[in-house]
Structure 1
Amino acid sequence: MMVIQTQDKDRRAIGYWLLFMAFMVFLMVVVGGATRLTESGLSMTTWKPITGILPPLSVTEWEAEFSLYKNSPEFKLKNYTMTVEEFKSIFYWEWGHRVLGRLIGLCFALPLAYFWVRKRIPEGYKSTLLFLFFLGGSQGLLGWYMVQSGLVNEPAVSHYRLTAHLSLALVIMSALIWNALNLLNPAPSETRKPVKILTHCLMALLVLQILMGGLVAGLKAGHIFNSFPLMNDQFVPDGLFSMEPFHSNFFDNAITVQFDHRIGAYVLILLVAFLFWKSRTGVSKNVKQGITLLSCLLIAQFIIGVVMLLKHIPVDWGTAHQGGGAVVLAFTVYLMHLQRRSISK
């Protein structure tokens, strides 16, 4: 569906590299979802950015790592019967997540240095690439800041920090895709103003839905009201605004957060259906194909979310739902890029 317009070898090389980096960040989001759902994120109680690339390799090293975990709130309050062998099963998820982060850093830094030294970076992109590298490093720091919140008193990370960590990963992925498309496809596609406006509205609502999804994950709100379409035989459940002050319900009340996430899904489906209807005429083939694919992806994401809820959030379906959200976001970025300047009214 994507037609590569540029013939410039340097723009192509860097564009494809950035798309590869976006795919790696997508994998990071998926692995991060699995790490969270397997409750593995607090298994590593120290952060060693340079020396922590190897896991424990001997019985003594495993015992030392397990001893550190025994001092954590998660072990003392939840996993106090856990053995070393059981500990390994959660440790490897978090270790893999961190190693993948380091690999992403290397896969960005080394090609960047190569392109820089060979003077192959197009004009105006050096500062952009440096900023993306800075964002990647900030994501690592934010990840550790999130983990720290679960190592103090309660064996659960802050849902605010978790939402911020997920959101920054998706911001980085989106920025990589946008800049890659700028390099590969300099010219926009024909579109109509109403279609462009609706696409921007869809992106705004999708961002809000992703933020609510992060809060749902952080509060484990998906583990209540595992029915659909009603919540405890009600469309509007009891306890929706039971917290004081009132505004805290939208951020700290698991009932309200799940309800809002459901409503957001309904509105997204209706909006993308309207966008599909408005795009029947007056837009390019690429835009029409992009809207059709995005519509299918959103419907699939909605179905995955419902099945995940009914199954009480199993790891495979929960991971698929988080990954699906990233895919929907990526294709929305692509669709916005196609329409970044209006050609026809």
Structure 2
Amino acid sequence: MLKKNYKYTKIIRGWLLVGLIMLVGQVILGGITRLTGSGLSITRWDIITGVIPPLNAKQWSEAFELYKETPQFHKMNSMFTVQDFKFIYFWEFFHRLWVRALGFIFLIPFIFFVIKKQINSYLIKRLAVVILLTILTASAGWIMVLSGFVNRPWVNAYKLTLHFILAVLVIMAMVKTVADVYNFGVKNKLKQYKFVRVVLGVAFIQMLFAGLMSGMKAGLYYPTWPDMNGKFVPSVLLNSTNWSWTNMINYDSYLFAPAFIQFTHRFLAYVLVLLTFIIFYKLRNELEGSQKKWIQLPIILVFVQITLGILTVLNVNGKIPLFFGVSHQLVGLLYFMSLLFLYYSLRKNKA
């Protein structure tokens, strides 16, 4: 918690909010990149020179030739023209450019505020954690991309999930920082504080399964609702001999892992709806003023989220629908963030 009576300027508060919004934007761009199959279009990670995309026909041809060496081109996109390549290149380039812009917008003001002594040691430490996690996320992202250049035409699901979860941890660290700077809390910690922590834990596990859903393309295998291809529990899950780590690893060649991931993802969604409703019921009369939005937002977002999830599944036609898939990811992230802000609004404020 912040030092007692420490106040930050509106500029610093606004800067932190911009940083949080850009972090959310980065995750969503990652989702678009994934759903459009763009993540393997740029075969190199040039931190400095990579800011400039191909500018003429020769440079586009050279970039396309590098892409032609990847498994994704040979196994999935061998009919691609340069124009097709430009489309997927754009999303991956924009994704990486956003990361660079985020670093620029975040780091330079951070250094300036430190030099001018406009932020205290607490905030410096908090932001150092955010920066460290961001570096780890970027590193995991490149490791993830490299996994798609060997044998399979897409990235490894577990490495993608690691990249995604690290990005979620960055957002969690940033939400905590924003909540502290805006002095979230109440005079006396509410009893439901610990219960919200449990719900947050379930929501975090759901985020983990969301990453695995994306990485394994699990949504493609059971495009029905409320059943899963006519059954509420897929047959492959009822056979005990299928429950092995080998089947979890070989998710490309056997149905068990995608079935398990999608079934669990659906189950956790229903659990979160119930838990969110319980939170709303318990807290609806205990929060006052602007704090009420932190109990209203989760209940709204969880129903929007589950609706988008159902629409995403029902509109699968050989691939995940881009609009519904990205919207589902965005609202899911906003739901998780709303729970975090609710959690910090229930704690005892020491400021």
TM-score, normalised via structure 1 length = 0.92
Q: Output the CA distance in 1 between the equivalents of 2:280 and 2:185.
A: 23
Q: Which amino acid aligns with 1:198?
A: F
Q: Distance in 2 between matches of 1:124 and 1:335?
A: 22
AA at the equivalent of 1:257: I
Superposed counterparts of 1:137-216, under 5 Å: 137-185=135-183, 187-188=185-186, 192-193=190-191, 195-216=192-213
Aligned to 1:113: 111
Aligned mates of 2:185, 2:229 — CA distance in 1: 51
- Trace 1:206-285 onto structure 2 (pairs within 5 A): 206-240=203-237, 244=242, 246=244, 252=251, 253-285=257-289
CA distance in structure 1 between the partners assigned to 2:225 and 2:300 by the alignment: 21
Q: Deviations over 1:230-249 (max 9, x none)?
A: 01111111112666553566
Q: Does 2:21 correspond to 1:8?
A: no
Deviations along 1:155-175, whole A, 9 cap, x unmatched? Answer: 111111111111111211121
Distance 2:205 2:271 in 1: 12
Deviation at 1:329, TM superposition (A): 1.3
Match of residue 31 from structure 1: 29
Deviation of 1:258 after TM superposition, in Å, equals 0.3
Q: Describe the superposition over 1:207-232 as per-residue Cα deviations: whole angstroms up to 9, x where unpaired.
A: 00010010010000001111100011
| 2:340 paired residue among 314, 333, 341 | 333
- Residue by residue over 1:277-333, the C-alpha shift from the partner in whole angstroms, topping out at 9 and shown as x without a partner, is 112344444554321221011010000010011001200110111111111111111
The answer (yes or no) to whether the contact 1:6–1:185 under 8 Å persists in 2 is no
CA distance 1:247–1:80, shift in 2 (3 Å): closer
Are the equivalent residues in 2 in contact too, given 1:42–1:147 (CA < 8 A)?
Answer: yes
Distance 1:248 1:265, change over 3 A: farther
- CA change 1:280–1:131 in 2 (3 A) is closer
RMSD over equivalenced CA pairs, Å: 2.1
SS of structure 2 residue aligned to 1:341:
coil
Asked whether the equivalents of residues 147 and 157 of structure 1 are also in contact (C-alpha less than 8 Å), the reply is yes
Maintained 8 Å contact 1:222/1:258: yes
Whole-angstrom distance in 1 between the partners of 2:50 and 2:17: 28
Q: Name whichever of 161-170 and 94-103 sits farther off.
A: 161-170
The answer on whether the counterparts of 2:224 and 2:314 sit within 8 Å (CA) in structure 1 is: yes
Is the partner of 2:274 in helix, strand or coil?
Answer: helix
| Post-superposition offset of 1:121 | 1.1
Supply the distance in 1 between the matched residues of 2:336 and 2:214 (Cα, whole angstroms).
18
Q: In 1, distance between residues paired with 2:187 and 2:36?
A: 43
Q: Which runs of 5+ in 1 are unaligned?
A: none
1:117 positional shift: 0.9
CA contact (8 A) 2:188 2:347 kept: no
Q: 1:339 deviation in Å?
A: 1.3
CA contact (8 A) 1:188 1:337 kept: no
1:320 aligns with 2:324: no
Change (3 A) 1:266 1:249: farther
User: Does the 8 Å contact 2:16/2:178 carry over to 1?
Assistant: yes
Q: Label 1:192 to 1:73 Cα distance change in 2 as closer, same or farther (>3 A).
A: same
Distance 1:229 1:187 in 2: 39
Contact kept, 8 Å, 1:157 with 1:218, in 2: the verdict is yes
Output the amino acid matched with 2:68. Answer: K
Equivalences for residues 84-95 of structure 1 within 5 A? 84-95=82-93
Kindly provide the CA deviation profile for residues 196-216 of structure 1, in whole angstroms up to 9, marking residues without a partner as x: 222111100100001001001
> Hey, what's the Cα distance between the residues in 2 that align with 1:236 and 1:308?
19
CA distance in 1, matches of 2:290, 2:221: 41
Alignment: residue pair count: 337
**Residue identity matched to 1:47:** W
Amino acid at match of 2:78: Y
Identity %: 34
Q: Which amino acid aligns with 1:269?
A: V
SS of the equivalent of 1:304 reads: helix
Out of 287, 307, 314, the residue aligned to residue 310 of structure 1 is: 314
